Amino acid sequence: MRLSKSLGLAFVSLVAAQEWVAAPKGLEVVSSKLFNGAEISYKTSVCETTEGVSAYSGYVSLPKSLLPDFQHWDEKQRAHLFFWYFEARNNPSTAPTSIYIGGGPGSSSFDNTNGLPCSVNADSNSTALNKISWNKHVNMLYIDQPLGTGFSYVDLVNGTFDTLTQTFTPVKGDGLDLLLASRTPTPHSSIENFFNQPWVQRDLGVPLNFTTGVNNIGKVWLGQTGDIMIGNLHAVERVVERGVNVALIYADRDYRCPWYGGENISLSLNFPSASEFRSAGYTPIKTNCSYTAGFVREHGNISFSRIFESGHGVAGYQPEALSVIFNRVMSRRDLATGEVDLRKHAGYKTKGRKSVRGVMNKVPESPVNTCFVRDAPLSCTDEQLMALTVGEAKVKDWVVVEPKGRKPKAMKVERKGRFV
């Protein structure tokens, strides 16, 4: 593997390899018989290497005539929604099917926190089979949405982006952990490198480069229209009333979507058996004979869980625990043990402490940071950023290896609560 000696060499390599993404080849294209102009294009893909298990990636393409909300579009413009389907490894013909939609809004469904059948290796150019993948017993369909997220697009535009100096939206903070001055980024950094490998893009059948998140989408939905915050509680209430199994799963170290906010949401829901749910106690979640993954409050078909030692994107930090919990939810088993069949015990209710807000964890030791070129401002130390700026950094597989990363010190807290 080539060791680039400077930022200049690293970015020359990026531009040369990925300035223009080649048009996909070898696609199967199926035109809709019901919706004029709609079509699906797909091909077999990387990642799922289990013998006999099928996987398909591609696009659902829709013309303007089928999209009444987009009247300002030109007649030739089309929506291209990217999907990736993984057949269940066990009994796919009778297995349930789950649709995974990334959050944000504007975050891709392929951010390394979603139970994919493979894990990206450190070289960002190969994968290893994930034995605890979510498609072990469930057919999984991942979709990049809304348009402009991940591999989904409307128009293709050529351009370049300097991850060290350019931003699309104003930066008002760096999202540091409030407990540790950590420079280690979220779990998606290596997978962004992987999806921008030309051979991976050819295999997936995509005509554009990949980004895990688009800030402008979230800015519009949250800061301008507010649409995402309208009516969601009532939507969840209706789903619960219809008997659908609803699991609210939150990380206990997520400062973006704090778990106690999720708990408040769960207790604010109104449905016929809401009082029974609110009176249920918290019980430990046992994912194997020796590990407790967190606490759960559960009654009937609704549950709220606090998962230990996790940040934003629980499965990226506790993949095995989330795989177990996911399968329990999909098979209608209780989250705490997986031993209770909720289809036979509709009135099941957890017992235990009424609150877990007093349960504290030890602050973990922060790891040595990994400086990803594609995520430099958030993952690199000041020394590494300076080396990148002046062209003295050594980069291998999109990771800065010289200057070396370091283990940050814990923040000190004064009595007034200020971090210093």
Say how far apart CA 156 and CA 158 lie, in whole Å: 7
pLDDT mean values, one per 10 residues, the chain (420 residues): 34 45 87 92 88 93 88 86 94 94 80 83 88 94 88 82 62 51 61 86 88 73 64 87 93 88 94 95 93 94 93 86 94 94 92 92 80 83 90 91 82 48
Instruction: Please tell me whether residue 84 adopts helix, strand or coil conformation.
Output: strand
What percentage of the chain's residues is helix, strand, coil (to nearest 5)? Answer: 25, 20, 55
In this structure, the strands spanning 246-251 and 118-120 are unpaired
What is the residue-averaged pLDDT of the chain?
83
Enumerate the domain spans of the chain: 22-224, 243-330
Say how far apart CA 309 and CA 320 lie, in whole Å: 13
Question: For 81-140, how does the pLDDT look when each residue is reduced to its tens digit (9 = 90+)?
Answer: 999 999 999 999 999 999 998 877 777 888 777 889 998 888 888 899 999 999 999 999
Question: Is 22-224's fold the same as 243-330's?
Answer: yes
What is residue 7's predicted lDDT score, i.e. its pLDDT?
A: 37
CATH of 22-224, one of 3.30.300.130, 1.20.1260.10, 3.40.50.1820, 3.40.250.10: 3.40.50.1820
Q: Residue 150 is encoded by which pair of tokens? A: 């991940």
Triad 331, 335, 341: Cα angle to 5°: 45
**3-class secondary structure for 365-393?**
CCCCCCCEHHHHHHHCCHHHHHHHHHCCC
What is residue 56's predicted lDDT score, i.e. its pLDDT?
A: 93
Contact between 252 and 261 (Cβ < 8 Å): no
Which pTM does this prediction carry?
Answer: 0.84
- HSE-CB of 387 using CA atoms within 13 angstroms: 23
Say how far apart CA 127 and CA 112 lie, in whole Å: 12
Instruction: Please tell me whether residue 39 adopts helix, strand or coil conformation.
Output: strand
What is residue 11's predicted lDDT score, i.e. its pLDDT?
A: 39
Instruction: Please tell me whether residue 300 adopts helix, strand or coil conformation.
Output: coil
What is residue 167's predicted lDDT score, i.e. its pLDDT?
A: 54
What is 243-330's CATH topology?
A: Rossmann fold (3.40.50)
Q: Find all residues with CB under 8 Å of 212, minimum gap 6, and list them.
A: 107, 108, 110, 111, 150, 188, 191, 192
What is residue 188's predicted lDDT score, i.e. its pLDDT?
A: 60
